[in-house]
Amino acid sequence: MPRAKEYSKEEVLNTATKVFWKRGFKNTSISDLVNATGLNKHSMYGEFENKEGLFLACIDHYVNTSTKYLMDILKEEPLGIGNIKAFIKNRIEYATSGEFDGCLLVNTTVEKHLLDEKINKIVNKELYGQKNLFHACLVAAQKNGEISTEKDCEILADYLMCFLEGLMIVGKTNPTKRSLNNIMDTTMGAILK
């Protein structure tokens, strides 16, 4: 008769996600994960197959917990510039908080050349989903007359992704809220001109 699990998968994912988030995929060892989660190697391999399997489960967990509410900001009706501003303000609050660790997806992208293609594809898919939400808000903003119809929404969505990814990296340098708000104003100015 198989033994019952003596751990919570949710708690393991919460803890392992934090470890990967702080250390990165390559700098996190199985021993680090075992020590942090309290799982033994047998249970970890039985549940997730390997370190990559656990990392992919952590990415999925992160997207469904930590970033879901952010995507909801961009999806809130009516779509438009207000969604984008609310999203960026939220990220500035996070970047200037004492709890800032960047973004697991962006941190993973920085490691891209060290990672398996399967991991890169999943992270790129999630980031592309964010870009699509920016794009939808920009298209709605054009229809609402918030931005010029001469603007290319695809390029602006890429621009916003560059801004967001940069913000998640610059936030690690302890910027002031004022400096980030100034950057946001410049970014929004470029979109609204």
CATH number at residue 28: 1.10.10.60
Asked if residue 132 belongs to a domain, the reply is yes
C-alpha to C-alpha distance for 133 and 160, rounded to whole angstroms:
11
Residue-by-residue pLDDT tens, the chain, 193 positions: 455 567 789 999 999 999 999 999 999 999 999 999 998 899 999 999 999 999 999 999 999 998 999 999 999 999 999 999 999 999 999 999 988 888 999 999 988 888 888 889 999 999 999 999 999 999 999 999 999 999 999 999 999 999 999 999 999 898 999 999 999 999 999 999 7
Asked if residue 1 belongs to a domain, the reply is no
- In a shared domain, residues 126 and 175: yes
Say how many domains are in the chain: 2
Please report the pLDDT score of residue 1 as a whole number: 43
- In a shared domain, residues 78 and 56: no
Q: What is the pTM of this model?
A: 0.89
Domain holding 172, by residue range, is 67-192
Are 62 and 104 within 8 A, CB to CB? yes
Q: Quick one: DSSP state of residue 149?
A: T
Length of the chain: 193
Asked if residue 140 belongs to a domain, the reply is yes
Please report the pLDDT score of residue 99 as a whole number: 85
